[in-house]
Each structure stands twice: as C-alpha cells, then as structure tokens.
Structure 1
Amino acid sequence: MGGINKLHFVNFSQLRSFYAVGRELSFTKAADLLCIGQPTVTTQVKALEETYDVQLFLRSPRGLKLTDAGEALLTVARQIFSLEEQAVGILRAEGNQISGKLRVGTVGPFFVMELLSAFHAKYPLVQVSLESGNSDAVYNKLMNYEVDVAIIGRDYDDPRLDLIQLGRHEVIIFVHRDHPWAGRQQIDLEELDGQRMIFREPGSMTRRALEKMLELHRVRPNVVMEIPRDGVREAVAAGLGAGIVSKTEFQFDDRLTPLSIADHKPFTESFATCLKARQGLRPIEAFMKLVTEVSNLKFNRMAANAQEKNESQPYASA
C-alpha cells in the first residue's frame, strides 16, 4: 500500500491566542479580548512556538514585537479568523436582519456621517464604531483588520481593495479674522509664496493635493508648523499662519475666514473601501451596498442637473 498523506492541522486555541496577541501586541489586552486569563494566553502561545520550534514574538522591556515568522503567520491568521467572522454572521442571521459590529475608519467625520445615518436607519441592529485619522493611517488600519470599512482620500491602486468613489472636494485656505486677507473671498496661488502656513501632517491627502499644485507652479510658502487636522484650526485661530482644509470640512468659526484659490484649485477625492477578502461579512457587504446606492444617486442627480442646465441655455443664433 502507498503511504497515507497526513492531514496537517494547527491547534485553533493556540492560533487564536497568537492572533489576539499579534493584534494587540500585549498578552494582557489579548486575554481581555478573548475573555480568558493571561496565563492561559501565554501558555497557548508558548505551546505553539514549541510545537513548531519557531519564535513568533521578540520580548523586551519596551514590549512585544512580531518576528518575521510572526508577521507571516499573523497575515494568514487574519484571513482564517475573517472567515470565522463570516461563519458567525451566517449562523446569527435571522431572515434578512443584519446584526453584529462594524468598525469604520474615516479621514474625517464630515465624509461619513450622512452614510452612517442612512446605514443605522436601514440596519439598526448593527453596532457601529468610528475611528478618524489621515488617509495613510486609516488605510493601514484597514489592511491590519483594525477597521472593517474605510473612507479614505486616495486611490491606493491596491488589488486587495474594493473601492467606490464618493466625491471630489476643493481644498481651500483659511486665515485669522485679523489677517490682511480676511476681507477677501479668494486669493491667487502665487500669493502663498513666502506666506506663513500651518500644514497637515504627512499622510494627509489635503496636504498632498496642495503641495502638488505648489510644486507645479513653483510656489514656496513658509511652513511654520505641521500638525493634525484639529490642531490646524486652533493654530490659525491663534494667528500662527494660514491653514488648509477641504471645503467640505470647513466649519463656520467667527475667528476664521475661508478663502478659495482662484486660479489653480487643488482637489482631493474621497473613496469608500473594504478588503475584498472580507466582502462576505454581512455588515461590510451591507455598508458597501449602501455606499454604491448613495454614489449612484449622487451621480444621477449630477447628470440630471447638468442636462437641465444645458437645456436651459438659449440656442445660439445662426
């Protein structure tokens, strides 16, 4: 008789403990996540390492760090437990009711609140949590399975993503009410040359859009500070320089004056996205379906408005 091919398997309790520790980079947080004791988590991870004679974590006074083998295993474990999430979703489904949790990452609340309101109205049993950051930070959270869906400001051209365009947004300048420009509604791009400016942190698509236009036209502002979105507003209100923001995100503040760039307008885009590998999870599937419906509705409205505008134009005389 020929040799029998053995079925290779891994202890799922050990793998689950490794996955939790790898996600949190903490045995204590992993134990809380799994609702078991920390000694159990430590024992299971140690047993996994000993069974396969591999080191998965580097331990130091600074904390835990994944080894190369640990990083590779975490990538596979994410996929395995994503499928488990799908299985749980199927088992918990009651007719067409969708329940569970949906973790949303976004570049700013202004881009997502309308969607979340519509989503909650349609799927009231889904518990939604929201995290904010710049596009690069939110993209990394999505890739690390720390959020389920994301609203980002850039097409990362990543084949692992399902991406739906939401809109295009003008980038504007804003200044303190006592600034010499405060009485104006717009400026030319070249006026930013040498101007004291507060920039967003690296990874911000708003910053990238303006920098691209500045570089193209050889305009060099005096960047005095680089800080996150919320800090830009307060820095400008303190008179430290001019700030930049998406027009969609600018909120009225009697300390500030918004200004459009008249000649060379920068624009950002917004996209809703999820990992294709996790599209089967019902809350994710429902959210992306809703995004598609909203996006199509906006496109149809824009097309109808453009057609109405064209039809209202008088015919040119022969």
Structure 2
Amino acid sequence: MALTSARMRAVNAVFETGNFSSAARRLGVSQPSIAQLVRDLEADFGVKLFDRHGHHLMATPLCRQLYATTSRLAAMEADAIGILEQREELAGGELRVGLGNSMPGMALISAFKALYPKIQVRIEIGNWSEIMAAVIDQRVDVAVLPEVPQDRRFRCEVCLSQRVVAICHPEHPLNVQGQMSITGLMQYPLVFRTRNSSTQRIVDKAFRASGLRPEPAIVVNSREGMLEAVANRLGVGFLWEHGSSRTDRIAKVVVSEMDIALPEYIFALFGTKGALVELFFNARHAMPGA
C-alpha cells in the first residue's frame, strides 16, 4: 500500500475538477490513467474516495479529509520545485546573515556554503540587541541568536542547544577543577560583558538566583574583548559553550548553576521571501553533529 505522488496528484485533480477527463487534461495524461490511479489507491486501502452522480464525481467525507492534507503536501512540493528551478539565484545571489555569536553561526554558514558555494554570504556580527534590530529593520535576511522572543513576527527553528560556561587562561587554578559553583567564582577577578549581551543576561540571572552581587574587574562590549581579556589573564569570563572555536589560551569550565542547555535559533521575519532564506534554514541539517 502506498500513497505515491502520482496517486496524490490524481486524487487532488479529480477532487478539484469533478471528473476523470478534466483531471486528465489538467495533468496532461490519459483519462484511463487517472481513473486507474484513483481505483488502485481505493483498492489498496479498502476505501471509497468518490461517489458518482451522473458525469460528476463527488468526494466522500474521507476524500475531503485526505485532500485537506495532500493539498498542503502538493503546495510544499511546488515550493520545492520552485527552489530547484531558481537556477540563477542559486548560481549567484547574496544572503545577508546576522550572528550574535561567531559560533555556531559560522559552522552553519560553512555547511550552507558547502552546499551552495556560488552564493555570496554577507555577515553582520553584533551583540544580541544589535542583531535583533538588524532582523527587524531588514538589514539582514536571517540571523542566528539565543533567546529569540516568542513573537509572531518571527519564524524560529532551533539550530542547536548550548550552555554558558566560564572561561579562564589554561594555567588558571580554576581550570584544574573541571566544574565550579558560582559562589566559588567570587574569589577571582571577573570579566563581564555589557548588559545588552545574551551571555551577560544568563550570568546576571545565575548570580541573582544565588543571592550574589559581584563587582566585575573589567567590563567589555564585545566577545573578542572578552576572549582577549581572559587570554591575557585579566580574569574569569563567560561565553556560550559553542560561542567561539578559539582554543589558544582559553579553557572552558562548567558552572553548576548554569549547566542548562538553552536553544540557539535560526530566525527571520515571517514573510521573508526567497529560496536562499529557506535553504539557509535547511542547512542546519548538514551541520556537524546535527
């Protein structure tokens, strides 16, 4: 038993036109072929899809229910064909991507470029607030961020899940402990991000939940500044676990109170058109570990 594409198209065409001959003309095949496809489907599943009324075929309640689903599948198939047929866009074109973290966004872009090497990708990197504004103002077509608001304006799909970790110089005493409580971090100089950072919001929340109010030794406004401060032994900082592929002079340490994986999203404004945006969403399946 199988609901093949040919059978689905035949049933939908008969449903929409009301008879085998009109359905056959629409699909460009013979009338006996259409009739056979419908009858084979009915026989395989032991169902009745149409009642004959003169020269007209009336859909049964079961057929109407089936059509409600298969018509959506047909629309998806048409969209997929449209994407494949947009040769000029896939052979060239530009996709504007906003990243709150260099990683995992760069890994996603790498997967996308491996699939579509001729597409130029223009990247805007900023803090959470800047990238959110870039999507809303349509300076970028699609973005990758954690903590995307549950807002009807956005189409969101999870790319991966990750946690915020502490980072220190590899020779820092914190590195030998493997895991640390947030209270234990208070004995070290701390490096914070500015408050419009998604990382800093997680860190602030964890300290508040533990009844702590730390005073950072250094506050930086960029991820690169955080990494350089830690690499130069200026204190213990914080980073999304996959927020950077950098491994030199940086060690990651799990903090017990922040050992919760949170989703990172691919998102765009609803209604953002174009094959490239759709293909970027789909590229998440080609990421390592997807």
TM-score > 0.5, shorter chain as reference:
yes
The answer to which structure, 1 or 2, has the higher relative contact order (CA under 8 A, 6+ apart) is: 2
Question: Is it true that 1:217 corresponds to 2:222 in the alignment?
Answer: no
Q: 248, 252, 257: which one pairs with 2:247?
A: 252
Name the CA shift for 1:108/1:96 in 2 (closer, same or farther; >3 Å). Answer: closer
For 1:179 and 1:117, the matched residues in 2 are separated by 33
1:233 aligns with 2:216: no
Is the 8 Å Cα contact of residues 111 and 286 (structure 2) preserved in structure 1? no
Residue by residue over 1:212-247, the C-alpha shift from the partner in whole angstroms, topping out at 9 and shown as x without a partner, is 111111122221222111011211233322111122
Q: Which of 272, 287, 292 matches 2:266?
A: 272
- Aligned to 1:167, the other structure's residue is in SS state strand
CA drift of 1:266 comes to 5.0
- CA-to-partner distance for each residue in 1:265-299, whole Å, 9 max, x for gaps? 25443100111121x222112222333x459x83x
What does residue 107 of structure 1 align with?
A: 100
Q: Is the 8 A contact 2:103 2:243 kept in 1?
A: yes
Q: CA contact under 8 A between 2:99 and 2:131: conserved in structure 1?
A: yes
Please give the per-residue CA displacement for 1:172-191, whole angstroms capped at 9, x wherever unaligned.
11223454424322211111
Aligned counterpart, 2:143: 150
CA distance in 1, matches of 2:86, 2:120: 15
Amino acid in the other structure paired with 1:247? E
- Partners of 2:173 and 2:283 lie apart in 1 by 45
Aligned residue identity for 1:136: S
The corresponding residue for 1:191 is 184
Give the one of 200, 208, 211 matched to 1:207: 200
Contact persistence 2:165–2:258 (CA under 8 A)? no
Task: Name the CA shift for 1:129/1:97 in 2 (closer, same or farther; >3 Å).
Answer: closer
Distance 1:145 1:179, change over 3 A: same
CA contact (8 A) 1:188 1:263 kept: yes
**C-alpha distance in 2 between matches for 1:159 and 1:223:** 37
Matched residue type, 1:274: A
Asked if 1:134 corresponds to 2:158, the answer is no
Distance in 2, matches of 1:197 and 1:184, equals 17
Largest Rg, 1 or 2 = 2
Taking the aligned partners of 1:135 and 1:184, their CA distance within structure 2 comes to 31
Superposition pairs of residues 87-102 of structure 1, within 5 angstroms: 93-94=86-87, 97=90, 99-102=92-95
Secondary structure at 1:103 match in 2: strand
8 Å Cα contact 2:164/2:258 also seen in 1: no
Secondary structure of residue in 1 paired with 2:191: strand
Percent of matched pairs sharing the same residue: 26
Note closer, same or farther for the CA distance 1:156–1:183 as it changes in structure 2 (3 Å cut). same
**2:156 maps to 1:163:** yes
Query: 8 Å contact 2:164–2:241 — kept in the other structure?
Result: yes
Q: Which amino acid aligns with 1:181?
A: L
Tell me which amino acid in the other structure corresponds to 1:258.
K
Task: Provide the aligned length of Structure 1 versus Structure 2.
Answer: 205
Task: From the superposition, tell whether residues 96 and 244 of structure 1 become closer, same or farther in structure 2 (CA, over 3 Å).
Answer: closer
Cα-to-partner distance string for 1:101-139 (whole Å, 9 max, x where unaligned): 101111122212232223223323321111211222111
Contact 1:135–1:205 under 8 Å retained in 2: yes
Cα offsets for 1:131-166 (capped at 9, x unmatched): 211222111011111111100111212211110012
Per the normalisation by structure 1, the TM-score is 0.58
1:252 to partner: Cα distance:
1.8
Residue 116 to residue 238, structure 1, CA distance change in 2 (3 Å): closer
Which residue does the alignment assign to 2:275? 282
The answer for unaligned runs of 5 or more in structure 2 is 1-81
Alignment-mate amino acid for residue 238 of structure 1: N
> Scaled by the length of structure 2, what TM-score is found?
0.63
Q: Name the CA distance, whole Å, in 1 between partners of 2:242 and 2:103.
A: 7
